[in-house]
Amino acid sequence: MKRFRYLFLILLLLQAATSASAQAFITYGGSRKFDGIHKNEIYGNLVYGGNVVTGRFFGEAASYTRHFTERWSITGGEQAQLLKQLYSLDLTGTYRIPFKRSSLFFDARVAGNRYHQWDVNELLINAAAYWETNYVDLRFGVSFIHYHKHNVKEEYKSYTDASYTEPPTLTVGLGINIRPRNNPWNLGLFIRNFDQFYYETWNINWGLRFHATLPWNDMKIYSEFNIRPAGSLSQLATRYETALKVGLKYAW
């Protein structure tokens, strides 16, 4: 029994330790490919934004990637968005297939969100294929989303539920850079129906992304300006959330 407890603790620590990067590769517009030298990558970014429901918010996100081989890697991440009271963890396993001069990645991802002010826990499972060329990246996948309200009203407990599993949601994303992917700096545009810790039913995010190599220690700075309207596919895209993310990537 004790052994199991230790095993569980070790798994939990591993998850926490690796839980720092799965989301950052969504924000970061550079290459995800293992460069053959640096097996470890760590990302950390700050986020500041405004949301129609929660008002202004700020927070941080961090992630860690370990490349085991040229093809296999694992990434874990976390985020805490204060004022919005949103706390998240995730873990992603990735397999890469080289395809001509591009790479095809297959991601399997599990994430958990805690929307504290509404007492809602959300579980996300996503499987996606990600094609990365020199200028363009494309993502196509499917998400399974389940959420439940933690405290169900006592009087309703006998006959009602406070949980919901959504039908599968398609994940689509497109990014375009103006310079080749491994250029020391790059600027790009993206459009997608997801972000680091959420997958939406056809609310289309879009915005600008940027990254540049800093002159010391293989460190990179990256940034993203994310416009997240509501009602895009109702053809009434309306201001819902805007956020600016600025972060650093370090590899060793």
Partner 1 sequence: MPGKMKNTLLLSLLLLCGVLFSSCEKLAEKINPAGILMAGTAVEDRVDMSYKYFLNHLDNKVWLIAYGDYSFLVGADSHVTTDPGRMDEMFAIGLRDKDLFYAHLGDIADTKSEYYITLDSLIQEAKYRYVQENYIMQDEYHFIPREDKSGYFLPCTYDEIQFPFFPVVGNHDITRNGWALWSNIFHSSFYEIDVIDFLDDGTMAFDHLIFLDSASGTLGTTQIKLIEEGVLNGKYSNGESIYRYTFVFSHTNIFKPQFNEFASTFTREETFYLLDKFEEWNVTCVFCGHVHTWDERNFNGVHYLTLDTMCEANNPDPGDYILRIHIDQDRYAYWTPVHMSSVGPKKK
Using CB under 8 A as the binding rule, whether residue 244 contacts partner 1 is answered as no
**Minimal distance, residue 243 CB to partner 1, in Å:** 13
Residue 203 DSSP code:
-
| Residues from 202 through 221 that contact partner 1 (CB under 8 A) | 202-204, 206
| Residues from 50 through 69 that contact partner 1 (CB under 8 A) | 51-54
Taking CB under 8 A as the binding criterion, the range among 16-24, 37-45, 69-77, 226-234 that sits at the site for partner 1 is 226-234
Both structure tokens of 17: 């330790």
Among 32, 33, 67, 84, binds partner 1 (CB under 8 A): 84
Using CB under 8 A as the binding rule, whether residue 161 contacts partner 1 is answered as yes
| Residues from 183 through 202 that contact partner 1 (CB under 8 A) | 198, 200-202
Q: Note whether 143 and 111 are within 8 A (CB).
A: no
Both structure tokens of 162: 């406070």
Using CB under 8 A as the binding rule, whether residue 171 contacts partner 1 is answered as no
Smallest Cα–Cα separation from 23: which of 59, 54, 51, 57? Answer: 59
**Minimal distance, residue 96 CB to partner 1, in Å:** 25
Q: Is 117 helix (H, G, I), strand (E, B) or coil?
A: helix
In what helix (H) or strand (E) does residue 51 lie, and over which residues does it extend? strand 40-51
Smallest Cα–Cα separation from 174: which of 209, 227, 225, 137? Answer: 137
Among 32, 92, 241, 249, binds partner 1 (CB under 8 A): 241
In what helix (H) or strand (E) does residue 208 lie, and over which residues does it extend? strand 205-213
Residue 100 makes CB contacts below 8 A (sequence gap 6+) with none
How far is the C-alpha of 238 from the C-alpha of 232, rounded, in Å? Answer: 7
Work out the number of other CB atoms within 10 angstroms of the CB of residue 72: 13
Q: Note whether 143 and 124 are within 8 A (CB).
A: yes
Both structure tokens of 25: 């590769």
Among 109, 139, 220, 228, binds partner 1 (CB under 8 A): 228
Taking CB under 8 A as the binding criterion, the range among 2-10, 92-100, 216-224, 233-241 that sits at the site for partner 1 is 233-241
Among 36, 167, 215, 216, binds partner 1 (CB under 8 A): 167
Using CB under 8 A as the binding rule, whether residue 229 contacts partner 1 is answered as yes
**Minimal distance, residue 212 CB to partner 1, in Å:** 22
Using CB under 8 A as the binding rule, whether residue 89 contacts partner 1 is answered as no
234 phi, psi to nearest 5 deg:
-90, 5
Positions touching partner 1 (CB under 8 A) are 51-54, 84, 86, 113, 115, 118-120, 122, 147, 149, 152-153, 155-156, 159-162, 164, 166-169, 198, 200-204, 206, 228-241
